[in-house]
């Protein structure tokens, strides 16, 4: 019998409560909000408001209304009319009503654009993130040499491995961690259980849960190198590239569409697959970095390497830009700004974009450095200008021999298509007719003398030749067409006018024949299907002489709808039969056979034709050169020219020079990962630590500037970065070294005695508990239900889908292959904090909320996976209830059930008796409850 719904809910609650762990507080990330302020809010305030509403204005006795807009405190306090803004309430904020000219009209020079006002509304709604402290410092000159004293810009050191008292550290990493703990009188907790370590390692290295057999095999393996062997197996798995490639895709703001109209980046998946392949092949990161910035300009030792170079250059093309912007100069700089900000954060953890409008307020990055770099990217073609701009896509070049073969096949195909058109002849009422398939003298629209602008079209198929033309229902009386035979006519001819008819055509079009007998005008109804071959209207019989100008004219005067012109046929009256060339039955049979053979050959050639890979990329501009400073970031207010170059604070005398014939991208790629630049290895080593430990040595993984956090273990960071470089910039080697440390294998049971000394566990006395990310959660549901499709690579976007709004997010492939659309992410991704695909995201938000459990309890797709898993385990008839319970819990949670959990589950499912449907329903509910538990969502 079925259990009442209320009883079921209490049973689920009991099981869920059994597995709840203490809630974990999410770190509040504000870097995106601060970046938004610096790029969208501060420049507008500086340009339009500070003149009258700042401390500088007050010093010059020009302050208006007692209002200061040069600090957050000033905005909140307001002036004579009250607070200028109310946090979280843009609709109630005086600043917004003034910008909209609803109360005051500010700025006085004119109303700002709607998108700028929308930026201010968003800023207020999101909490008014603002780093300004209310003190307006005098204009400062950036001291590059002083800036180099900051820790992040210092050369990489080779720190000595510290000695520790009373304990033998397993690795140098452990020595650095334990040394720091001992300075505070602290020590590490013990190692985690082997089953916990196995689950942690599988999720961290391949993003998938271990099976029961895999956990048990490791737990029972007593060899001294058992753990090391497991690490090496996972590092060599293709799933490693899928997991770690996805980490990097967060950083490079990978997406398969842009917000504008939901337009699709159809070829972006090739970049994603190239990233995954690179991580699996352990391509040195310094090579990968250069490939992404300048792969199209790099030398290649093989065809495969050349293809990887080109595919990875797509990194520069994936920004979320407003390609519809009609201010093309502004669009060009917006694209450059997005690329610079991405390069700066991804490889250097520097907020370069903050120097577009003014010297960086916090870091030693002057505006000139910004435009030195901008000149490199402005010399790069990233967008093809049009009414709506397009990103650059090219065909992958083929080796010379293959290209010649392809050219030959293409020539064959073109010739066959031309032959098929001829063989099709009249082709019926709804197919085009070739000009040479018609008898008499035919003057096509392409040979007519046209006055005014006409538009070619092939929308209607009952036309003659290559196309017909229409007047666009515009310029009436100003457009005309004149059809004149190529040679003088002699004798009597029937004159016919071809019309591709349709409902939007003009019903009364004057067509005039000029002959030896004068002019004769016929009113043609172009909405009506013509009686001859479905396209010709007879204009009557007319006499022509050698000294008469024979012609047919068409006028658009006195019409309001579309006027069509196509062809005029002069058919000798003494010609008997069809207006198309006369053929015998035998001719028809031969033509039909030839047509069939030609079509079969064409189909075979098209199927066998070598295909070219289409890929997203950039290319060198035709015009290469330096860029002028854009005063206050305005593309139309230009200052002095700045030579192309790099950030001075990490540049040295041996930085690569840029000559006048190159954009400088190749040199930029070399400079990013040069031995003189300490940022790239530090930043990447810190990212790897963050992805494995749960928090970076520098927690602000995308910001190593003065507004970022200081490293908790600076010597350890330099040790890791130095080792990374020494080992050939190998990702796998650094991952291996970290996971083999005792620190990585620590228990996550936090010592409460350290809650005041180290409340956030920055010193790592224990391992951090971490929630699995959206992709691992989705993949785990597919794995445990037995429905996962483990194929590698490829696109999941069907040919018929044109925008990202149309895609049904439903697949059995791993989550890394699900399309990343900026307008329509899968619900599971949104609920579980998927990275914003328009931003550099080195550290995702991590939340633990009740709606996440509710989603897993109620989502149809999750229910479907639960049902499939229930069916899979119920089909194993040899298992009794206890064994099945143990197996289900072990599979989902990576551990055996506790006695209380096992008792609750068994009690609930046994009540189903022999009713098969009720058994399936109850097991589905149990599995859903397990999926909804905190123990499922967290790695301990």
Question: Could you report the per-residue pLDDT of 155-203, keeping only the tens digit for each?
Answer: 999 999 999 998 889 999 999 999 999 999 999 999 999 999 999 999 9
* 557 and 447 inside one domain: yes
| Sequence-distant (≥ 6) Cβ neighbours of residue 92 within 8 angstroms | 86
Q: Poorest-confidence range of 140-154, 190-204, 797-811?
A: 797-811
Angstrom distance (rounded) from CA 208 to CA 202: 6
Q: Is residue 364 part of a domain?
A: yes
Four-CA torsion 901, 907, 912, 914, nearest 10 degrees: 110
Say what percent of the chain tops pLDDT 90: 69
In tens, the pLDDT along 282-302 reads: 999 999 999 999 999 999 999
pLDDT at residue 2 greater than cutoff 50: no
Q: What pLDDT, on a 0 to 100 scale, did the predictor assign at position 429?
A: 57
Alpha helices in 792-915 (DSSP H): 827-831, 850-858, 860-874, 881-893, 899-910
Q: What pLDDT, on a 0 to 100 scale, did the predictor assign at position 103?
A: 80
Q: Is residue 799 part of a domain?
A: no
Whose tokens are 């901008």? That residue is 374
Tell me the sheet residues that pair with 515.
518
Query: Does 107 sit behind a cis peptide bond, omega within 30 degrees of 0 on the bond before it?
Result: yes
Query: Does 383 sit behind a cis peptide bond, omega within 30 degrees of 0 on the bond before it?
Result: no
Q: What pLDDT, on a 0 to 100 scale, did the predictor assign at position 112?
A: 92
* 231 and 273 inside one domain: yes
Q: Give residue 533's Cα distance to chain centre.
A: 51
* 430 and 571 inside one domain: yes
Angstrom distance (rounded) from CA 69 to CA 388: 36
* 354 and 290 inside one domain: no
At residue 659 the predicted structure's pLDDT band, cuts being 50, 70 and 90, is confident
Q: Is residue 480 part of a domain?
A: yes
Angstrom distance (rounded) from CA 188 to CA 766: 6
pLDDT at residue 423 greater than cutoff 80: no
* 575 and 441 inside one domain: yes
Q: What pLDDT, on a 0 to 100 scale, did the predictor assign at position 134?
A: 61
pLDDT at residue 249 greater than cutoff 70: yes
Angstrom distance (rounded) from CA 529 to CA 206: 65
What are residue 903's phi and psi, to 5 degrees? Answer: -65, -45
| Sequence-distant (≥ 6) Cβ neighbours of residue 368 within 8 angstroms | 629, 642
Q: Which residue has the higher pLDDT, 325 or 469?
A: 469
* 454 and 530 inside one domain: yes
Q: What pLDDT, on a 0 to 100 scale, did the predictor assign at position 61?
A: 79
Angstrom distance (rounded) from CA 856 to CA 693: 26
Q: What pLDDT, on a 0 to 100 scale, did the predictor assign at position 9?
A: 40
| Sequence-distant (≥ 6) Cβ neighbours of residue 269 within 8 angstroms | 256, 793, 794, 795, 796, 797, 817, 819
Alpha helices in 535-626 (DSSP H): 585-608
Asked whether the beta carbons of 789 and 768 are under 8 A apart, the reply is no
Q: Is residue 476 part of a domain?
A: yes
Angstrom distance (rounded) from CA 77 to CA 91: 17
Say what percent of the chain tops pLDDT 70: 93
Q: What pLDDT, on a 0 to 100 scale, did the predictor assign at position 135?
A: 52
* 450 and 508 inside one domain: yes
Instruction: Quote the tokens at residue 771.
Output: 């929630």
What are residue 299's phi and psi, to 5 degrees? Answer: -70, 155
Structural domain for 562, as ranges: 426-579
* 531 and 388 inside one domain: no
Q: What pLDDT, on a 0 to 100 scale, did the predictor assign at position 20?
A: 38
* 267 and 351 inside one domain: no
Q: Is residue 12 part of a domain?
A: yes
- Using the 3D structure, point to which of 106, 128, 150 is the last residue of a domain: 128
Q: Beta-carbon neighbour count of residue 119 at 10 Å?
A: 18
* 487 and 520 inside one domain: yes
Q: Is residue 499 part of a domain?
A: yes
Number of domains in the chain: 5
Q: Is residue 78 part of a domain?
A: yes
- Using the 3D structure, point to which of 653, 672, 691 is the last residue of a domain: 672
- 861 closest CA partner among 796, 808, 806: 808
Asked whether the beta carbons of 605 and 420 are under 8 A apart, the reply is no
pLDDT at residue 13 greater than cutoff 60: no
At residue 679 the predicted structure's pLDDT band, cuts being 50, 70 and 90, is very high
| Sequence-distant (≥ 6) Cβ neighbours of residue 489 within 8 angstroms | 441, 544, 545, 546, 548, 550, 570
pLDDT at residue 56 greater than cutoff 50: yes
Q: How far apart are the first and last CA of the chain?
A: 39
Which CATH number is 557's domain given? Answer: 2.60.120.260
Instruction: Quote the tokens at residue 878.
Output: 């040899």
For the chain, the residue count is 940
Angle of the 881-893 helix axis to the 860-874 helix axis, nearest 10: 140
Buried b (16+ CB within 10 A) or exposed e, 890-915: bbbbbebbeeebbebbbebbebbeee
pLDDT at residue 618 greater than cutoff 50: yes
pLDDT averaged over the chain? 90
Angstrom distance (rounded) from CA 570 to CA 426: 17
For residue 553, what is the DSSP state? E
Q: Which residue has the higher pLDDT, 735 or 614?
A: 735
pLDDT at residue 426 greater than cutoff 70: no
Instruction: Quote the tokens at residue 848.
Output: 């633990």
Q: What pLDDT, on a 0 to 100 scale, did the predictor assign at position 413?
A: 86
Q: Poorest-confidence range of 111-115, 367-371, 608-612?
A: 608-612
Q: Is residue 252 part of a domain?
A: yes
For residue 505, what is the DSSP state? B
Buried b (16+ CB within 10 A) or exposed e, 838-871: bbbbbbbebebeeebbebbbebeebbebbbbbbe
- In a 13 Å sphere around the CA of 257, the CA atoms on its Cβ side amount to 22
* 570 and 433 inside one domain: yes
Q: What pLDDT, on a 0 to 100 scale, did the predictor assign at position 396?
A: 86
Most trustworthy range by pLDDT among 63-67, 323-327, 757-761, 808-812: 757-761
Asked whether the beta carbons of 218 and 230 are under 8 A apart, the reply is yes
Alpha helices in 748-845 (DSSP H): 774-785, 827-831
* 346 and 370 inside one domain: yes
């Amino acid at each position: 019998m079925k259990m009442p719904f209320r009883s079921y809910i209490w049973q689920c609650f009991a099981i869920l409560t059994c597995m709840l762990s203490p809630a974990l507080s999410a770190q509040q990330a504000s870097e995106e909000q601060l970046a938004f302020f610096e790029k969208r809010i501060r420049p507008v305030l500086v340009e339009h408001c500070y003149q009258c509403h700042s401390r500088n204005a007050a010093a010059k006795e020009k302050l208006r209304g007692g209002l200061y807009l040069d600090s957050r405190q000033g905005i909140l306090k307001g002036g004579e009319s009250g607070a200028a803004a109310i946090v979280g309430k843009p609709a109630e904020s005086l600043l917004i009503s003034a910008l909209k000219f609803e109360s005051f009209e500010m700025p006085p020079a004119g109303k700002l654009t709607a998108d700028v006002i929308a930026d201010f509304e968003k800023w207020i709604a999101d909490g008014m993130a603002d780093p300004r402290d209310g003190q307006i410092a005098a204009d400062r000159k950036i001291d590059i040499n002083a800036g180099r004293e900051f820790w992040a810009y210092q050369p990489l050191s080779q720190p000595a491995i510290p000695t520790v008292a009373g304990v033998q550290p397993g690795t140098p990493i452990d020595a650095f961690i334990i040394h720091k703990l001992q300075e505070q009188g602290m020590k590490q907790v013990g190692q985690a259980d082997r089953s916990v370590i196995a689950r942690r390692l599988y999720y961290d290295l391949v993003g998938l849960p271990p099976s029961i057999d895999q956990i048990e095999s490791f737990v029972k393996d007593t060899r001294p190198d058992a753990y090391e062997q497991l690490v090496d197996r996972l590092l060599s798995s293709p799933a490693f590239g899928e997991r770690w490639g996805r980490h990097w895709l967060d950083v490079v703001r990978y997406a398969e569409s842009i917000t504008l109209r939901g337009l699709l980046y159809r070829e972006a998946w090739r970049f994603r697959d190239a990233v995954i392949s690179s991580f699996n092949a352990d391509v040195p990161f310094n090579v990968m970095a250069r490939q992404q910035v300048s792969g199209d300009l790099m030398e290649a030792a093989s065809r495969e390497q050349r293809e990887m170079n080109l595919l990875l250059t797509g990194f520069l093309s994936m920004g979320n830009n407003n390609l519809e912007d009609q201010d093309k100069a502004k669009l060009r700089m917006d694209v450059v700004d997005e690329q610079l900000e991405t390069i700066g954060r991804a490889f250097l953890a520097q907020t370069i974009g903050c120097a577009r409008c003014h010297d960086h307020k916090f870091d030693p990055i002057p505006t000139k450095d910004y435009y030195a770099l901008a000149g490199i990217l402005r010399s790069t073609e990233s967008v093809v200008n049009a009414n709506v701009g397009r990103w650059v896509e090219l065909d992958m070049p083929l080796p010379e021999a293959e290209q010649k073969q392809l050219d030959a096949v293409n020539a064959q195909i073109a010739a066959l298509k031309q032959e098929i058109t001829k063989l099709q002849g009249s082709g019926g009422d709804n197919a085009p007719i070739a000009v040479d398939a018609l008898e008499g003298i035919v003057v096509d629209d392409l040979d007519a003398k046209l006055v005014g602008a006409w538009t070619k079209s092939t929308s209607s198929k009952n036309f003659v030749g290559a196309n017909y033309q229409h007047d666009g229902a515009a310029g009436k009386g100003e457009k005309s067409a004149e059809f004149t035979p190529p040679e003088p006519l002699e004798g009597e001819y029937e004159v016919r006018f071809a019309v591709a008819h349709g409902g939007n055509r003009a019903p009364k079009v004057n067509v005039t024949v000029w002959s030896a007998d004068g002019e004769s005008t016929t009113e043609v109804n172009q909405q009506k299907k013509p009686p001859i071959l479905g396209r010709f209207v007879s204009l009557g019989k007319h006499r022509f002489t050698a000294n008469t100008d024979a012609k047919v004219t068409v006028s658009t005067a006195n019409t309001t709808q579309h006027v069509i012109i196509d062809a005029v046929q002069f058919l000798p009256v003494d010609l008997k039969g069809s207006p198309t060339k006369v053929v015998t039955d035998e001719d028809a049979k031969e033509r039909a056979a030839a047509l069939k053979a030609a079509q079969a050959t064409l189909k075979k050639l098209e199927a066998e034709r070598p295909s070219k890979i289409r890929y997203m990329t950039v290319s060198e501009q035709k015009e290469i050169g330096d860029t002028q400073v854009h005063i206050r970031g305005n593309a139309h207010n230009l200052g002095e020219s700045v030579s192309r170059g790099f950030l001075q604070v990490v540049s040295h005398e041996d930085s690569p020079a840029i000559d006048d014939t190159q954009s400088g991208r190749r040199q930029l790629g070399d400079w990013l990962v040069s031995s003189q630049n300490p940022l790239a290895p530090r930043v990447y080593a810190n990212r790897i630590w963050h992805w494995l430990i749960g928090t970076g040595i520098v927690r602000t993984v995308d910001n190593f500037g003065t507004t970022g956090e200081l490293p908790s273990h600076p010597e350890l960071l330099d040790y890791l970065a130095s080792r990374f470089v020494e080992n050939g910039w190998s990702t796998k080697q650094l991952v291996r070294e970290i996971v083999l440390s005792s620190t990585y294998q620590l228990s996550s049971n936090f010592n409460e005695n350290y809650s005041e000394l180290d409340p956030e566990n920055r010193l790592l006395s224990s391992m951090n508990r971490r929630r699995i990310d959206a992709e691992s959660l989705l993949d785990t549901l597919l794995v445990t239900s037995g429905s996962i499709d483990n194929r590698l690579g490829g696109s999941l976007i069907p040919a018929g889908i044109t925008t990202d709004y149309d895609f049904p997010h439903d697949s059995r492939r791993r989550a890394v292959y699900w399309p990343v659309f900026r307008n329509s992410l899968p619900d599971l991704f949104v609920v579980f904090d998927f990275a914003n695909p328009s931003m550099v995201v080195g550290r995702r938000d991590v939340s633990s909320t009740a709606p996440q459990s509710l989603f897993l309890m109620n989502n149809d797709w999750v229910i479907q996976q639960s049902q499939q898993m229930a069916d899979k385990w119920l089909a194993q008839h040899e298992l009794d209830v206890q064994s099945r319970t143990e197996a289900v819990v072990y599979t989902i949670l990576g551990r055996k059930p506790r006695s209380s959990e096992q008792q609750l589950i068994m009690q609930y499912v046994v009540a189903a008796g022999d009713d098969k449907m009720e058994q399936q329903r109850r097991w589905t509910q149990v599995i859903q409850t397990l999926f909804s538990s905190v123990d499922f969502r967290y790695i301990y």
